[in-house]
Amino acid sequence: MLRIAKIFLSLLMLTIIFSFVFSGCSSNSQSVQTGNGKPGTDGSSDESSDNGAGKKFDGKTLVLTGSTTLLEVTNNWAEEFYKEFGGRITVNGGGSGEGIASLINGTTDIANSSRNIKDSEIKNAEENGITIREIPVLYDGIAIIASENINIEEVTLEQLAKIYTGEIKRWSELGGPDKEIILFARDTNSGTGEYFLEEIIQRKGTKKDSDYSQMTIRLNSNAEIVNNISDTDNCIGYVGLGFVKPEMNILYIKEDDSSQNVMPSIKSVRERIYPISRELFVYADENNISDIARGYIDFILSEKGQSIGAEAGFVPVK
Amino acid sequence: MKKRYLQQKIFYGLLLFCTLVVVAFVLGIIIFLIVKGVRAINLNFILGFPENGMREGGIFPAILGTLYLMIGTIIFALPIGIFAAIYINEYAGKSKITRIIRLSIINMSGVPSVVFGLFGLGFFVLFLRFGKSILAGSLTLALMILPVIITSTEEALKSVSDTYRQASLALGATKWQTIYKVVLPQALPGIITGSVIGIGRAAGETAPIIFTVAAFSQPGLPKSILDQAMALPYHLYVLATQVTNPPEDMLWGTALVLLFLVLFFSVIGSIIRVRQRLKKRELS
Amino acid sequence: MKSKLNNFKNFLITRFIFLNGIISIVVLTVILIFLVYNSIKFFSGYPIFDFLTGTRWSPTSTEKFGLLPLLAGSTLITVGAIIIALPLGVGAAIYIGELAPRAVRETLKPVIEILATIPSVVIGFIGIQLIVPLIKRAFGLPIGLTALAGSIMLAFMSLPTIISISEDAINAVPIKYRHASLALGATKWETTYKVVVPAAKSGIVASIMLGLGRIVGETMTVLMVTGNSPRIVFSWLQPVRTITATIAAEMGETVRGGLHFSSLFAIGLVLFIITFLINFIADRFIGRIRKM
């Protein structure tokens, strides 16, 4: 029986030692940062500590919280930033509201947001002695895509709203085949889903009671919407511009019956002609911004940062 | 007469079928995970950092985070669990309070893990202001596995024969000395089994850690127990549902590593238990 | 003097151990207080009647917190899972407990224990990769993320509980019952289903209740495979959203202290009450086995 205890204890010790040794060695490679970029990926401390010179922001903490729309691209930014400048960076989701609330409470350095900060939030911030600085970082265009078999060219914003509230139920009402429309939308926790609800379904907030039809199928990501529409007939869905491929059945959007129809593209989004597009922001505390946070903001606005954003499917602001 | 035996045959066939479905499901999962996951496993996957939006590189920070959580969980859960079991088995007797304690242990093990997560967020993260941290996550997980540790320790204490206690008390030892020096060493294997199984369970849980510790991503590693950490189960969840088009290998590899880690502990637990049983059989 | 010190020491130790002993009561109480406290905050901002009878869960922009779609989702998935798990679980338990040769039995038991240890996020992952596409193809659906996918995965997750407790109950039936029945000329199967199973009934019911508790409270698997659309439907081939998945998906996305935040504690309280009742009933039945 004692032997069993010994086995167990040595196992526990092994686990502890393992984690500390490895975290130790990785932290070596982190604090004595490498010139060539990979943060201790090899798991060998010697190699990286030999590289000597530390990076600019080693040991400095940076917490990024907020919009799920920006989550993936923030992660990419953080990875690249870390490779170049070091630092202890944590990326959290939580949605735009949570991001801004965390900034006001002082638990995050930078808030990611897919909407403008509200007046009430600015007031709250001021009461906490925080001066909000708003930085637009990317544009996001939302494309409306339909299944292959749908032979419709364009929809107006009003039709789109009616499709999603369930007032328009069949494609034939829009001149398409006599089939029921299958609706795809993003999950309730998606920033894109929220934006679409407020901008399109609620007509920019003028019809506060409108909501997604009960029959809407909610999906977790842009990719899932694309995949499901590609192998099912009679569907409609929306995805970020970055997920659009030329071979998809993308619908032109018309502001109303009398206006020009517009295809989503980098150009039409940047010129703000395409109606379903928005700005994405990061927010920071103007008076109390750390060096690493400033460095990070400079980085995401740099050519490299913006091209990372473009790769993730957004439209650069610069 | 024949009809009755035919009936018996048919129903036996059905029962066997039920069993085979269950077994096939378990083996199917494991074989699938191994076959598909093993391609991803290499040194860089285990010891490397995520790259290119988690689509390449390794899962080291997630593995490390889970190990931290396992250690933290057991540090909190083990002592409390052991003392609780000692109270129930050695001190409480058959009073009304024992009945209430037992009932609440049963109910505690029935509380859904996501409710523990809610509680951890409300109590540890916000009320005690630990923030989203390894500390808050470990405490939440510790509460969740407490029933496992209490129950197994209690069983182990029960299996220690009363003659030992009487002999020790007769020699003039106090009650605590008897427990500490005589009963606990005897019960050790049972206690260890429970803790190992508990750790394994803690390692695989996702819902309690989402709001209490898990970071979406974290270039660099946690430095203190008040830092957030990545964790394997949450990482698998993120890869499977939040990241667009992750490579299949990354997904299956992560799932395999998680399964391996959890099974490793439960196998150790079972081995200890089986050996213990054999030993008892020899004795009796 | 020394004995006084010893007495004091003993007193402290006893107190300390007592405090640890009642930890489970303390934790349960504190959890309940937290849930109730936040729920009260929620109900002071949102009428409880609207919460209990509302048919829309649309928490962010329209601020509608109707419990019914979530409850419907949880119920649909649970019923489906039990329909699948009940015959499989009890069947396997009878096979393992009554028919299997000793060697087979000793190998089957660990296999089923392994099922219990597979993390729910891995089961959910397997569901996404294998079961969801299968359902989509088999039924020609626009999407495979359905209540059915959730029911199937949860059924398997509840099986270890159902099998092991049912089997214990079957084993607990005294051997003389079987001997008596066989001596009266019953076949082995007749003995099993007319004598052994009825005698083990309360244990089997308890196992199903405990399995039910596991199903209702399971989070990650349903979050991953059921499609998460909060709506009231009566078909297993539609996406639904459960109480647990709602908490897990939305808690990370709300502003702390807001109405949405506290609404999640309110549905957490509903969940807590449901599982508490289920476990309470199960405990009653387990008590009956002990008396046997």
pLDDT band of C275, cuts 50, 70, 90: very high
pLDDT tens for C150-200 read 999 999 999 999 999 999 999 889 999 999 999 998 888 889 989 999 999
What's the average model confidence in pLDDT over B54-65?
A: 91
Residue C4, amino acid? K
What's the average model confidence in pLDDT over A258-275?
A: 88
Question: Are residues C190 and B108, on separate chains, in Cβ contact within 8 Å?
Answer: no
pLDDT band of A280, cuts 50, 70, 90: very high
| Burial of B75 (C-beta count, 10 Å sphere; 0-12/13-18/19+) | exposed
Q: Which helix (H) or strand (E) holds B190?
A: helix B184-204
Nearest residue of A to residue B71, measured between CA atoms: A16
C61 vs A contacts (CB less than 8 Å) = 194, 197-198, 202, 208
Ordered domains of chain B (ranges, CATH): 41-283 (1.10.3720.10)
Tokens encoding A30 = 């982190």
Compare B172 and A3 and report the one with higher pLDDT.
B172
Task: Output the CA–CA distances (angstroms, integers) from residue A168 to A165, A260, A275, in the order listed.
Answer: 8, 22, 21
Residue C231, amino acid? R
Question: CB-side exposure of A279: number of CA atoms within 13 Å?
Answer: 13
Let me know how many helices (H) and strands (E) chain B has, helices first.
Answer: 12, 2
Asked if residues A148 and A192 have their Cβ atoms less than 8 Å apart, the reply is: no
Instruction: Report the alpha-carbon distance of residue B68 to residue A15 in Å, rounded.
Output: 9
A138: helix, strand or coil: strand
Residue A53 clears pLDDT 60, i.e. is over it:
no
pLDDT band of A3, cuts 50, 70, 90: low
Give the distance from residue A300's alpha carbon to the nearest chain B alpha carbon, in angstroms: 15
Q: Which helix (H) or strand (E) holds A282?
A: strand A277-285
Residue C42, amino acid? F
pLDDT band of A146, cuts 50, 70, 90: very high
**Which residue in this structure is represented by tokens 């290119």?**
B52
Within 8 A by CB and 6+ apart from B102, the residues are B88
Chains touching B (3+ CB pairs < 8 Å): A, C
Give the distance from residue C208's alpha carbon to the nearest chain B alpha carbon, in angstroms: 13
Residue A29 clears pLDDT 50, i.e. is over it:
no
Residue B174 clears pLDDT 90, i.e. is over it:
no
Task: Output the CA–CA distances (angstroms, integers) from residue B232 to B16, B144, B252, B259, in the order listed.
Answer: 36, 18, 12, 10
Question: Are residues B64 and A23, on separate chains, in Cβ contact within 8 Å?
Answer: yes
Asked if residues C164 and C89 have their Cβ atoms less than 8 Å apart, the reply is: no
State chain C's mean pLDDT as an integer.
90
Residue A27 clears pLDDT 60, i.e. is over it:
no
Return the closest-CA partner of residue B57 out of B37, B77, B71, B43: B43
Question: Which of A137-141, B93-97, C269-273 is the least confident region?
Answer: B93-97
Q: What is the pLDDT of residue A12?
A: 60
**Which residue in this structure is represented by tokens 């991953």?**
C224
Question: Are residues A97 and C255, on separate chains, in Cβ contact within 8 Å?
Answer: yes
pLDDT band of A287, cuts 50, 70, 90: confident
Residue A2 clears pLDDT 60, i.e. is over it:
no
What's the average model confidence in pLDDT over B160-173?
A: 90
The count of other CB atoms within 10 Å of the CB of residue B2 is 6
Q: What is the pLDDT of residue C230?
A: 86
Residue by residue, DSSP assigns B238-273 as IIIIISSS--HHHHHHHHHHHHHHHHHHHHHHHHHH
Mutate to test the interface with C, among A183, A214, A231, A235 (most CBs of C within 10 A): A214
A18 vs B contacts (CB less than 8 Å) = 67
Q: Which helix (H) or strand (E) holds B283?
A: helix B248-283
What's the average model confidence in pLDDT over C89-105?
A: 92
Instruction: Report the alpha-carbon distance of residue B82 to residue B199 in Å, rounded.
Output: 15
Compare C109 and C83 and report the one with higher pLDDT.
C83
Q: Which helix (H) or strand (E) holds B4?
A: helix B2-37
Mutate to test the interface with C, among A189, A203, A206, A230 (most CBs of C within 10 A): A189
Question: Are residues C25 and B207, on separate chains, in Cβ contact within 8 Å?
Answer: no
Q: Where are the domains of chain C?
A: 1-44, 49-291
What's the average model confidence in pLDDT over A148-155?
A: 90
Task: Output the CA–CA distances (angstroms, integers) from residue B151 to A84, A119, A303, B114, C151, in the order listed.
Answer: 51, 54, 60, 22, 30
**Length of chain A in residues, anyone?**
318
Residue by residue, DSSP assigns chain C as -HHHHHHHHHHHHHHHHHHHHTHHHHHHHHHHHHHHHHHHHHHHHS-HHHHHH---EE-SSS-EE-SHHHHHHHHHHHHHHHHHHHHHHHHHHHIIIIIS-HHHHHHHHHHHHHHHHS-HHHHHHHIIIIIHHHHHHHHT-S-S-SHHHHHHHHHHHHHHHHHHHHHHHHHHS-HHHHHHHHHTT--HHHHIIIIIHHHTHHHHHHHHHHHHHHHHH--HHHHHHSB--------TTS-B--HHHHHHHHHTTS-TTSHHHHHHHHHHHHHHHHHHHHHHHHHHHHHHHHH-
Nearest residue of C to residue A103, measured between CA atoms: C255
pLDDT band of A20, cuts 50, 70, 90: low
Question: Are residues A232 and C142, on separate chains, in Cβ contact within 8 Å?
Answer: yes
A150: helix, strand or coil: coil
Residue A26 clears pLDDT 80, i.e. is over it:
no
**pTM of this prediction?**
0.87
pLDDT tens for C138-162 read 998 888 889 999 999 999 999 999 9
State chain B's mean pLDDT as an integer.
90
pLDDT band of A292, cuts 50, 70, 90: very high
Q: What is the pLDDT of residue A222?
A: 79
CATH class entry, domain C49-291: mainly alpha
Residue A91 contacts B where some CB pair is shorter than 8 Å: yes
Please report the residues numbered 111 through 140 in chain B whose beta carbons come closer than 8 angstroms to any beta carbon of chain C: 111-119, 121-123, 126
Give the distance from residue A46's alpha carbon to the nearest chain C alpha carbon, in angstroms: 36
Residue B35 contacts C where some CB pair is shorter than 8 Å: no
CATH class entry, domain A19-36+56-139+279-316: alpha beta
What's the average model confidence in pLDDT over B157-184?
A: 90
Asked if residues C201 and C284 have their Cβ atoms less than 8 Å apart, the reply is: no
**Which residue in this structure is represented by tokens 């607990």?**
C172
Give the distance from residue A190's alpha carbon to the nearest chain C alpha carbon, in angstroms: 9
Please report the residues numbered 49 through 78 in chain A whose beta carbons come closer than 8 angstroms to any beta carbon of chain B: 71-72, 75-76, 78
pLDDT band of A17, cuts 50, 70, 90: low
Question: Are residues C126 and B32, on separate chains, in Cβ contact within 8 Å?
Answer: yes
* Fold of the A141-278 domain: D-Maltodextrin-Binding Protein; domain 2 (3.40.190)
Question: Which stretches does DSSP call E strand in chain B?
Answer: 50-51, 56-57
pLDDT tens for C242-252 read 999 999 988 87
B223 vs A contacts (CB less than 8 Å) = 27, 88
Question: Which of A184-198, A291-305, B189-203 is the least confident region?
Answer: A184-198
Give the distance from residue C149's alpha carbon to the nearest chain A alpha carbon, in angstroms: 15
Within 8 A by CB and 6+ apart from A103, the residues are A65, A109, A110, A111, A125, A130, A132, A283, A284, A285
Helix extents (H) in chain A: 2-31, 45-50, 71-85, 95-105, 119-127, 157-165, 191-196, 222-230, 266-270, 291-301, 303-311
Instruction: Report the alpha-carbon distance of residue B182 to residue A37 in Å, rounded.
Output: 57
Nearest residue of B to residue A16, measured between CA atoms: B71
Residue B26 clears pLDDT 60, i.e. is over it:
yes
Residue A16 clears pLDDT 70, i.e. is over it:
no
Q: What is the pLDDT of residue A50?
A: 35
> What is the phi-psi region of residue B37: left when phi exceeds 0, alpha when psi lies from -120 to 50, beta otherwise?
alpha
Instruction: Report the alpha-carbon distance of residue A239 to residue A242 in Å, rounded.
Output: 8
A55: helix, strand or coil: coil
Question: Which of A29-38, A78-87, C25-34, C99-108 is the least confident region?
Answer: A29-38
Pair type for strands A252-254 and A88-94 = unpaired
Give the residues across from A316 on adjacent strands. Answer: A138
Q: What is the pLDDT of residue B123?
A: 92
Task: Output the CA–CA distances (angstroms, integers) from residue B214 to A40, B66, B73, B134, B222, in the order listed.
Answer: 22, 10, 15, 8, 11
What's the average model confidence in pLDDT over B17-37?
A: 94
Intervals of CATH 3.40.190.10 along chain A: 19-36+56-139+279-316, 141-278
Give the distance from residue B160's alpha carbon to the nearest chain C alpha carbon, in angstroms: 19
Residue A43 clears pLDDT 50, i.e. is over it:
no
